[in-house]
Structure 1
Amino acid sequence: MSSSARPLISFQETKRISPAYDGREFGTAGPYEWVFGTLNCEIDPDSPRNRDIALLDLAPRNAGGFVEYETEIEILKPVDESRGNGWLLYDVLNRGTKRAIQRINTGPATNMPFANEHLGTAYLLERGFTVVWSSWQGDVPAGAGRMLAKLPVAARPDGPYTGASREEFIKDARAAIREDTIEEVSDSLFRYRLAYPAADIADASASLTVRQNEADPRQTPADLTWRYLDETTIEIEHPANFVFDRGAIYEFIYTARNPVVMGLGFSAVRDTLSFLRYGGADGTPHPLKASYRKALGFGLSQSGRFLRDFLHRGFNADLAGRPVFDAVMPLIAGSRKIFLNEPFSQPGRFSRQHEDHTFPGDQFPFGYADQFDPVSGRTDGILNRPVADGVCPKIMHVDTDSEYMSARSSLVTTDAEGNDVALPDNVRLYLASSVAHGDYALPPEIASAKGNTLTYGTLTRALIDALVEWIENGTLPPSSVYPTRAAGTLVDPEIAAQAFPKIGNAEFPAHINALRLTDHTSMPPATGQQYRVGISAIDSDGNSIGGVPHPLLIAPAGTHTGWQIRKAGYAQGELFNVFGSYWPFAATRADRLRDNDSRPSLEERYGSEQAWRDALAEGLAGLADEGFLLEEDKARILERAEAGYFTTFNFI
């Protein structure tokens, strides 16, 4: 059977909203419409470009010898596509949810952004982008507008495929990696839903351990018991006075069956974009009428990690060797990739300091250029395959301080010993200083400080404009801005800890998410030599330096960090996920002295709100001149500044 140079996809439209947003006109693109549909896909498991997909050889085949799967697709495009800017912006779904409109447009968090109030700044529409979403992950829960890929299950010729699988969970349900995985029956009894069914619920080799913190030894206390309720659910019981608190880590290792061929997520994105850009088989209905010159792959957090792995594994070349993405924009991914293309993968999981620390997806290579790693003994780079295939995109990689603390961002630009290494010419990297991974509402019983609500929307909009100019006209974008050893802005954690100001009882974290060489073939994983991971230096206020300052930190009104510490009762002192913290400045000198605060007050810094607004205006002008802030965003921030220090900081 010969492999096809075209993806074998058929499109079926299921719904259309035209025009959308009450017929509102957006820039020169005019009114937009939503198109909804399904993609029925076939993939040749014998094609050289598909052979690296884990377990694909064990997926069921149709009469033609192909493997079938189905994805959902949604498209937001100009009604008259010829009025658009000629770009497809592909928003890689994050656990089945849309993120581009929320994070690029600074819109509200919704997976169904179908009303005018969901559009935020409407940047993407005003610029004329066609925005595309399609499902790629095969284990997201249904509902709330999430998009799920229907992927096949691998099986051996003589029966189910089985193998070792590992789960970690924290009793606090908010920390669960998959929705509704934990059900608390009482203070001492709870249930956990497994990612894959057990091969045999009578198997005595399955084990449950508990440890208070990640680095602690695993324990099997006599008063901790568990049992299978069914093949996908275990029930755990411990005494009411259990020595471990609600932040303790439970680990369950068992023999599972029926792994989903999750690695098809990579080919699903590759083949969908190829279909949209270059067309399918003759006569196949197509959801787009216009020809699109360029495609931008956008992803953040999980989907940013997806894009880095997508490039590393060679999926940016379609079946005919043509480029899938001309530009790729991974945000808040750090140095990680994704736990996707492996048996019994769980792509929602990712390493943090306390949770899921040793799950796959965080090992070498970290940087974009080819590099030798003395820890693993390997030589590789994220872009080696795209370079060899002649389809290397231009890249803008954006991280926040959370990624330096929790996602080893420094390894993208340093070697294993922490020394600076150069970025390739086609890569730009930016740190959004003192911004956190997300502006989440934090549970006060766990978080020791207020949450950091600053985000990276203004920076992202300016960079997308620059990225388009870079590709369309060869205009170089702003130079990379990130912490380096040479500049003294990339430091070891203990150096930043010494510089942290006195803010009441607040303390700098005792840990970051460190990294060791990890062998995932053993259960639990075995760890070896440690990498040297740096973080951003901080100023006397505790705000980070070495990156692009957030517009509202040009004239700060408080300390914003990319880390949050857990309270007593919830693994005290450990990092709380990838959340950030915020401590406002005191209003007056008397207030800060009363509160044991070493940071100058607002009164001491600025004297008046007008003086603060003047300082802000001057700083914003500088950011705009450097290409890190659009003029329309500058005007929007200054307008909000008229309301005062604190209401302005609600603008994210």
Structure 2
Amino acid sequence: MKLEIIRVESAFDDLSFGNIGAYEKVVGRASAEVDPTHPLNAGIINIGKAPTNAAGRVEYWLDFYLLKPADLRRGNRRIFYDVVNRGNKLALNNLNDAPRVNDPSTAADAGNGFLMRQGYSVLWSGWQGDVAEGDNLLRAHLPIAAEHDASIVATSRDEFIFEHTRSPVTVSLSYPANTLDQTAAMLTVRQREQDPRTLLSPEHWHFKSNTRIEINRPGEFDAGAIYEFIYPARDPIVMGLGFAAVRDLVAFMRHDSANADGRPNPLTLDGRPAIDYVFAYGASQSGRFLRDFIWQGFNQDLHGRRVFDGLIATVAGSRKTFVNFAFAQPGRFSRQHEDRLFPHDQFPFSYATTTDPVGGKTDGILARCEASNTCPKIMQTEASTDFWEGRASLLVTDGKGIEIPVPDNVRLYLFASIQHGGGSVAANFPFNQYQPNPAEYGAVHRALAVALDEWVSRGVLPPASRFPRVSEGTLISPAPQSYGFPPIPGVKYPGLVNELSEMDYSVQPPKSIPGHNYLILVPKIDEDGNEVPGIRIPEIAVPRGTHTGWNLRRRGFAEGELVLLGSYFPFAATKEERLASGDLRPSLEERYPTEDDYVTQIARAAEELRNMRLILSEDVERIVNAAAALIKAR
């Protein structure tokens, strides 16, 4: 591993974080090589077909970005590794309530300073080999596989949903086409995933280059229609090398004093490594990356040591990633309407090793790290949306709905009635029918990060799992006739989930294997439509409306299909308004006779969570003040 330091500068306008002091940023590029014959690299798809140097090693480079205490002696001797999401940094936004920026520099970019006040050295690095340059995105340059110095060619598949009706439209392909002969490729369109495909004639599309096609869209399909392009592609990136890149960079930062040319590791003191523990955090794509990283055995470094001591994977659902494949597309992930057929969401789903009643295989996310004694302590946190879209019930049930165990080194937490990514992501989806769910879960994440550290470093058990279970009657069918969603004027409960079956990927497009379907369940709700199990933040425990994990696409955008959002249906202000509209849910005045009553109940709910170590004391005050400000603003 060789580190090229590009810049070192003060961070956050020299803001001081209590006893930790100021922070500095170290930005650079790491160059490395791997032995393709090493047993711990053998599972990387096409690693044996990557070009090698004179020593027989496969070379790559990646960007890295480090925020560390300016005086490392004042830090907590821990790395907090935030897995980038399509090259973007997430942890400061999700844990510090900071703006979502990729070059945090100002005092405002530190948000509430949580990670800095704890003393972490926060590390990011590129791992995804198809991230474009720009916007301070962190990239990895990974090799292209070849066969006897000739391009590898195979059938590849792209899917496009435009969310507009402009035509013609030009789209980029995931891999270069091997030929510009239109007869070798196929473009189809369908309105919904389950609909028959309509084959589009060559008059509807043409190659603009071997990496782009232009589509003249037929008028009978709306903005949410699914366009599917199947074509002979060439030059697959050895994308699975991204897992090894994370493994080896983190191991270097933790254990090595200097890199290959003698330059010091930026996380050393007096010539010695200054790190005792390493934690990982990943949200959405990044959380799926961590599940896949563990499953594929990358938490064991090349010296047999554990890479991550503890990790938090959030809103990942039961999925893994489309990374360690020949023609990988890491940005894809299955939802009810989008990307359903890409190969990243098959068994195993749970951390426990089980036998799949659908496909007959035996496996578990922890199987490899258990064999090498390198498993981390794990917290997986899920939003409600990830039961509907991410099939999170498969973390605790087999494919037929039978309950399965949760290993002792794993905790599972549901953020009850909160949408994927929290309320701040709503601006990314302008085609939803209903008002998005505004609830946020950052306060709980901060408390869990503290609990994870105490679990790893001191052996203090964290809060028990708070997750719906079949045995407790809190994990149920989403079927409209049994789910029990309350009648709300103007609202249609869909009963839709992202269905799953075992797939046959030997054909394109892939096909479901008949009869090999998995049962998907969702959390139980109360009479208001808010979820019962899990961690109910004060905003949910003392509600001003119904918060759901599902939302629907509006007319013109594949109407009625799910969108990756929740919904919010406010209660009527008064009993009179409620009765006039036909809303059966008690109004705000019926629930909270006085303004003080609402704030008092919020404070009580916050205190209960603090007593369970599910929020921090500092966040109790924030939550109560926010509730008081809400009432005052009305």
Whether contact under 8 Å (1:440, 1:453) holds in the other structure is: no
Equivalent of residue 505 in structure 1, options 467, 472, 490? 490
Deviation at 1:457, TM superposition (A): 0.6
| Other-structure match for 2:210 | 231
Residue 89 in structure 1 maps to residue 72 in structure 2: no
- Single out whichever of 126-135 and 578-587 deviates more from structure 2: 578-587
Whether contact under 8 Å (1:434, 1:550) holds in the other structure is: no
| Other-structure match for 2:284 | 301
User: Over residues 102-138 of structure 1, what are the superposed CA-to-partner deviations in whole Å (9 max), with x where a residue is unaligned?
Assistant: 0011212222221111222211001111100010001
Whether contact under 8 Å (2:610, 2:620) holds in the other structure is: yes
Equivalent of residue 460 in structure 1, options 437, 445, 448? 445
C-alpha distance in 2 between matches for 1:214 and 1:355: 8
User: Over residues 569-593 of structure 1, what are the superposed CA-to-partner deviations in whole Å (9 max), with x where a residue is unaligned?
Assistant: 11111001x2111122221112223
Residue 515 in structure 1 maps to residue 500 in structure 2: yes
Q: Report the secondary structure of 1:627's partner residue.
A: coil
Residue 607 in structure 1 maps to residue 599 in structure 2: no
C-alpha distance in 2 between matches for 1:445 and 1:396: 32
Residue 146 in structure 1 maps to residue 137 in structure 2: yes
- Sequence identity, in percent? 45
Deviation at 1:282, TM superposition (A): 7.6
| Other-structure match for 2:36 | 45
Residue 312 in structure 1 maps to residue 295 in structure 2: yes
List alignment gaps of at least 5 residues for structure 1. 1-8, 174-183
| Other-structure match for 2:334 | 351
Equivalent of residue 465 in structure 2, options 461, 467, 480? 480
Whether contact under 8 Å (1:212, 1:248) holds in the other structure is: yes
Residue 564 in structure 1 maps to residue 551 in structure 2: yes
Q: Report the secondary structure of 2:227's partner residue.
A: strand
Query: Which amino acid counterpart does residue 534 of structure 2 have in structure 1?
Result: G
Whether contact under 8 Å (2:480, 2:495) holds in the other structure is: no
Deviation at 1:361, TM superposition (A): 0.8
Equivalent of residue 201 in structure 1, options 153, 161, 180? 180
Question: Within 5 Å, which residues of 2 pair with 1:589-604?
Answer: 589-604=575-590
C-alpha distance in 1 between matches for 2:202 and 2:68: 59
* Alpha carbons of structure 1 residues 16 and 394: separation in structure 2 relative to 1, 3 Å: same
Whether contact under 8 Å (1:517, 1:530) holds in the other structure is: yes
Q: Report the secondary structure of 2:18's partner residue.
A: coil
Equivalent of residue 381 in structure 1, options 352, 364, 379? 364
User: Over residues 610-643 of structure 1, what are the superposed CA-to-partner deviations in whole Å (9 max), with x where a residue is unaligned?
Assistant: 1101111111111111111111000111122221
List alignment gaps of at least 5 residues for structure 2. none
User: Over residues 170-192 of structure 1, what are the superposed CA-to-partner deviations in whole Å (9 max), with x where a residue is unaligned?
Assistant: 1216xxxxxxxxxx7xx442221
Whether contact under 8 Å (1:13, 1:38) holds in the other structure is: yes
Whether contact under 8 Å (1:208, 1:251) holds in the other structure is: yes
Query: Which amino acid counterpart does residue 536 of structure 1 have in structure 2?
Result: P
| Other-structure match for 1:421 | 404
* Alpha carbons of structure 1 residues 278 and 266: separation in structure 2 relative to 1, 3 Å: same
C-alpha distance in 2 between matches for 1:612 and 1:551: 11
Deviation at 1:236, TM superposition (A): 1.2
Query: Which amino acid counterpart does residue 559 of structure 2 have in structure 1?
Result: Q
Whether contact under 8 Å (2:554, 2:560) holds in the other structure is: yes
User: Cα RMSD between the aligned structures?
Assistant: 1.7
Task: Tell me the number of residue pairs that the alignment of Structure 1 and Structure 2 aligns.
Answer: 624
Deviation at 1:203, TM superposition (A): 5.1
Q: Report the secondary structure of 1:610's partner residue.
A: helix
- Single out whichever of 28-37 and 330-339 deviates more from structure 2: 28-37
Whether contact under 8 Å (1:12, 1:285) holds in the other structure is: no
Whether contact under 8 Å (2:142, 2:239) holds in the other structure is: yes
Whether contact under 8 Å (2:12, 2:110) holds in the other structure is: no
Q: Report the secondary structure of 2:609's partner residue.
A: helix
Query: Which amino acid counterpart does residue 596 of structure 1 have in structure 2?
Result: G
Residue 629 in structure 1 maps to residue 615 in structure 2: yes
C-alpha distance in 1 between matches for 2:345 and 2:172: 25
Query: Which amino acid counterpart does residue 624 of structure 1 have in structure 2?
Result: R
Alignment TM-score, normalising by the size of structure 2: 0.96
* Alpha carbons of structure 1 residues 102 and 375: separation in structure 2 relative to 1, 3 Å: same
Residue 252 in structure 1 maps to residue 243 in structure 2: no
Residue 190 in structure 1 maps to residue 143 in structure 2: no
C-alpha distance in 2 between matches for 1:609 and 1:507: 31
Q: Report the secondary structure of 2:159's partner residue.
A: strand
Whether contact under 8 Å (1:13, 1:287) holds in the other structure is: no
Question: Within 5 Å, which residues of 2 pair with 1:103-118?
Answer: 103-118=94-109
Deviation at 1:400, TM superposition (A): 0.5
- Single out whichever of 339-348 and 506-515 deviates more from structure 2: 506-515
Q: Report the secondary structure of 2:108's partner residue.
A: helix
Whether contact under 8 Å (1:450, 1:582) holds in the other structure is: yes
Whether contact under 8 Å (1:169, 1:250) holds in the other structure is: yes
User: Over residues 79-122 of structure 1, what are the superposed CA-to-partner deviations in whole Å (9 max), with x where a residue is unaligned?
Assistant: 11121111100000000000000001121222222111122221
